[in-house]
Amino acid sequence: MVEKKKRERPAFNRSIAAAISKHYKDVQTNKPMAYLLMASNPLVEIAYAARIQPAFPENYACACAAGHASAGYCETAEAYNYSPDICSYCRNHLGYIYGPGENPPTGGIGEPDLLLITSSACTHYFKWWDALHEIYGKPLIFINTPRVMEPQSKPDFYMDYAMREIEQAIGEIEKAVGVKITNDKLSEAVKLSGEVVDYWQKLLEMQKAVPCPMDYSDLSNALFVLIVLAGTQEGVDLMRETYNETKQRVNEGKGILSKDEERHRLLWINIPFWYKLGIFGYFEDRGCVFPLSDYTHHIWGTTRMDGSKPIESLARKALEGELNTSVDDQIDKLLKDAKEYHIDGVIAHSNRSCRVLSVGMLDAVDIIREELNIPALVLDCDHTDERVYSDAEIMNRIDAFLEMLA
């Protein structure tokens, strides 16, 4: 049997872990606090500009899954009539609300004073926040933006609508919390968010190096900074630290695996199994790294932000996120990047919860197989609801895939 190795993880992980635990303290104590969503959206920067503490139920679901609390929360939500057809991020959160238990992971995510939402990902968002609105009776501010199916020929009035929605939301937020969001503050937040994105893009670029400097879990840790801290100086500092360390690793030729050990570079499609991140270690023990994923590379952090044009930048952020575009667009990006990142195999998680990221995947996998002539494995599973995961079945498929690559 292959030996399980202990690998030294980049040091930035510790700083990020500290930031995460600080964040979960902040959401309990700072007021006013608002629930926000994670998909590329303009409300994070606006919240920071208004000195509102954002909290992210989706991120909380990841934390709960990592702490193996999600299955229980999903069960509770189901007992409150939330069907298993609903994304497990949402069920995790609703289950937590209806029955947090004695020791919720990270100490809980707190009760919101405000609910801020956009439509830039799946239909769940609006439905989820609307249910929260019923449960908490707190103001719900909703930015509706169109889905962009043809990014190349996007009509101008799409941008106009997004911008007007953002302006209107800013007014509503000011009214709800009694704070003036000045242009300066907004510009500052957008500028800082832009700096985070710039570092992030450079960070991703370095994943092209052989050997690959970071593994999937390092990168998804850094996602916390990209999303939750977008618009703060803290975020810029952390992302810079992450970038600097990674750059040094690349310069020294240091990778997660050594150059000799790294035998395969795989593409991971969709969200990982948050309750089983160890799976990446399993792959690494067998000479495989994941330099590329749509989840880390494409669905957020792709919009360049310009502090001098805050509203426009925010509108672009809402429209350009991959969850707001078409599968064709996603496939094009995957094809292009798979070549640049020297990908030679694909693991696609057909995630019954996140349908936005899963539908079209069967086509995508077919196209990648054909155009790049590399093998692909589809795994049916769920990102948060551990009850859907069957170790024997998943590992069997993975083993067969690895034997095929060998």
Binding site residues, ligand SF4, CB under 6 A: 39, 58, 87, 89, 121-122, 124, 323, 353-357
Q: Does 138 bind another protein (CB under 8 A)?
A: no
Q: Which stretch binds another protein (CB under 8 A): 189-197, 201-209, 295-303, 369-377?
A: 369-377
Q: Which is nearer to ligand SF4, 189 or 354 (CB)?
A: 354
Output the smallest distance, CB 271 to ligand SF4, in A. 6
Residues in the interface with another protein (CB under 8 A) total: 63
Residues 64-93 that bind another protein (CB under 8 A): 80-83, 85-87, 90
Q: Which is nearer to another protein, 199 or 273 (CB)?
A: 273
Q: Which is nearest to 195 in space by CA: 247, 237, 246, 166? A: 237
Please state, in angstroms and rounded to a whole number, the distance separating the CA atoms of residues 205 and 292. 10
Helices (H) and strands (E) in the chain, counts: 17, 8
Please state, in angstroms and rounded to a whole number, the distance separating the CA atoms of residues 220 and 9. 13
Q: Which ranges constitute the DSSP H helices of 214-345?
A: 216-228, 233-251, 279-285, 294-297, 310-320, 327-340
Please state, in angstroms and rounded to a whole number, the distance separating the CA atoms of residues 316 and 366. 31
Spatial neighbors of 146 by CB under 8 A, at least 6 apart, are 158, 161, 162, 319
Q: Which is nearer to ligand SF4, 89 or 142 (CB)?
A: 89
Output the smallest distance, CB 185 to another protein, in A. 24
Q: Which is nearer to ligand SF4, 118 or 207 (CB)?
A: 118
| Contact partner, 9, from ligand SF4, another protein, none, Cβ < 5-8 Å per class | none
| Contact partner, 86, from ligand SF4, another protein, none, Cβ < 5-8 Å per class | another protein
Please state, in angstroms and rounded to a whole number, the distance separating the CA atoms of residues 394 and 397. 5
Q: Which is nearest to 144 in space by CA: 167, 165, 114? A: 165
CA 185 to chain centre: 26
Output the smallest distance, CB 359 to another protein, in A. 4
Q: Are 313 and 305 in contact, with CB atoms under 8 Å apart?
A: yes
Q: Which stretch binds another protein (CB under 8 A): 17-25, 180-188, 239-247, 326-334?
A: 326-334
Query: What letter would DSSP give residue 317?
Result: H
Please state at what angle helix 57-66 crosses helix 216-228, rounded to 10 degrees. 150
By CB under 8 A, name the one of 96, 128, 295, 341 that touches another protein.
128
Q: Which residues bind another protein (CB under 8 A)?
A: 1, 80-83, 85-87, 90, 119, 122-124, 126-128, 130-131, 133-135, 142, 144, 146-147, 149, 155, 157-158, 160-161, 164-165, 168, 326-328, 350, 352, 355-356, 358-363, 366, 369, 375-378, 380, 392-393, 396-397, 399-401, 403-404
